């Protein structure tokens, strides 16, 4: 029953997917607000952060380590060349599918195992530093940026 | 250990509190983007939605039922008179403190009880419709709007 929580999270990923996947390369060039990140950067940013879940959850190495420099450590419009819309989309799909496949088999006990950035010793003191809370906080991060991205949408209803 | 998840959520509420509480009435009149909701509306909106958790979690009636018309059913700048900054702040604090007090005593079993909008019968088929997932999805909602609100902040770092 505990796995309802991560499942609810990744339902959020579906909404984000529907939003970004419908946009053209041109539309992805839009800024979320004047002088702020472009949509393409935001999409890549969310994908890259999710990619970081693989090592953190003990599911293997990142699939697209090069996205870190493009979408995390450097701000938008930095000197680095970033992925095209097509490449971001491909990476996003690949990352999400593989993550969901990774989660799906876990028992509640496995969800409550420590994540790899915390030592066995620290985990004894801080049992909340588990896989579940890492995934939930990644979900919060996605929602935070999705709220920004959606501002570029022509207004049907408020907020 | 399961209660790490809601605790992680309400840590998010602390960040939101720090952001909004520091703003003056004038600053709260700012729009998150041209023609979009004002900050004061967004703050009231998050507070009003959280207020809805009391009945949903079986913690009693809403504390500020009048906020529903002001901040949920009507869009910003509708004909209804809304709370002042001072009133929103008061309501926000009251709602959050009482919610946290309500959560704090729960055992994992209590977290996994059904929420009140689902019948006993449906809950047998859909055990994920529990208090935990309701609180987590409310947290996602907060993050979604907080990502928007923060766009009004002078840019120190990107996004």
- The secondary structure of B21-80 as a DSSP string is HT--HHHHT-BSSTTS-BHHHHHHHHHHHHHTHHHHHTS-S-S-TTHHIIIIISPTT-SS
**Chain B residue with minimum CA distance to A125:** B1
Tell whether B124 lies on the interface with A, counting CB pairs under 8 A: no
Residue in A35, A75, A133 closest to B4 by CB: A133
Chain A interface, mutation test: which of B143, B145, B149, B154, most A Cβ atoms within 10 Å?
B143
- The predicted-structure confidence for B1-17, as pLDDT tens digits, reads as follows 456 666 666 667 888 99
- The whole-angstrom distance between A158's CA and the closest CA on chain B is 6
pLDDT at residue A8 is higher than 70:
no
Contact B5 A136 (CB under 8 A): yes
pTM: 0.81
Q: Considering CB atoms only, which of A127, A132, A148 is closest to B5?
A: A132
**Residue A52 φ/ψ, nearest 5 degrees:** -65, -15
Cβ-defined contact of A144 to B146 (cutoff 8 Å) = yes
- The C-alpha of A6 sits at a distance from chain B's nearest C-alpha, in angstroms, of 9
CB B133 within 8 A of CB A5: yes
Question: Above 80 in pLDDT, residue A6?
Answer: no
What's the pLDDT band for B108 if we cut at 50, 70, 90? confident
| Proportion of chain B above pLDDT 90, given as a percent | 52
pLDDT for A158 equals 45
Percent share of chain B, pLDDT over 70: 90
Q: How far is CA A64 from CA A28, A48, A136, B55, B72, in A?
A: 20, 7, 22, 45, 41
- pLDDT category at B71 given cuts 50, 70, 90 is very high
What is the pLDDT at residue A31? 93
Residues B132-146 have a mean pLDDT of 86
- Banded model confidence at residue B35, pLDDT cuts 50, 70, 90: confident
Q: Do A36 and B137 touch (CB under 8 A)?
A: no
The pLDDT value recorded for residue B159 is 46
Least CB–CB distance from B1: residue in A75, A112, A136:
A112
A135: chain B residues, CB-CB within 8 Å: none
Place of tokens 């009003």: B48
ipTM, two decimals, is: 0.76
Whether the predicted pLDDT of A4 surpasses 70: no
- Residue A132: CB atoms within 10 Å: 25
B30 touches chain A (CB under 8 A): no
Residues from chain A contacting residue B146 (CB–CB below 8 Å): 144, 147
Q: Could you give the CA distance from residue A37 to residue A34 in angstroms, rounded to a whole number? A: 9
Asked if residues B139 and B9 have their Cβ atoms less than 8 Å apart, the reply is yes
The reply to whether B13 touches chain A by the CB within 8 Å rule is no
For range B84-98, the mean pLDDT: 95
Q: Read off the pLDDT of each residue in A15-44 and give the average, rounded to a whole number.
A: 93
Flag whether residue A8 sits within 8 Å of chain B, measured between CB atoms: yes
């Amino acid at each position: 029953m505990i796995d309802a929580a991560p499942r609810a999270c990744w339902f959020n990923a579906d909404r984000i997917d529907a939003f970004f996947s419908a946009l053209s390369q041109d539309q992805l060039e839009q800024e979320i607000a004047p002088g702020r990140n472009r949509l393409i950067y935001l999409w890549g940013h969310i994908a890259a952060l999710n990619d970081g879940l693989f090592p953190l959850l003990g599911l293997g190495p990142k699939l697209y380590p090069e996205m870190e420099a493009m979408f995390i450590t450097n701000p938008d419009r930095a000197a680095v060349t970033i992925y095209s819309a097509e490449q971001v989309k491909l990476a996003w799909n690949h990352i999400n599918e593989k993550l969901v496949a990774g989660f799906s088999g876990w028992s509640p006990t496995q969800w409550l195992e420590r994540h790899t950035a915390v030592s066995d010793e620290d985990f004894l003191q801080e049992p909340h530093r588990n896989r579940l809370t890492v995934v939930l906080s990644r979900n919060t991060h996605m929602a935070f940026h999705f709220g920004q991205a959606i501002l570029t949408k022509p207004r049907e209803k408020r907020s």
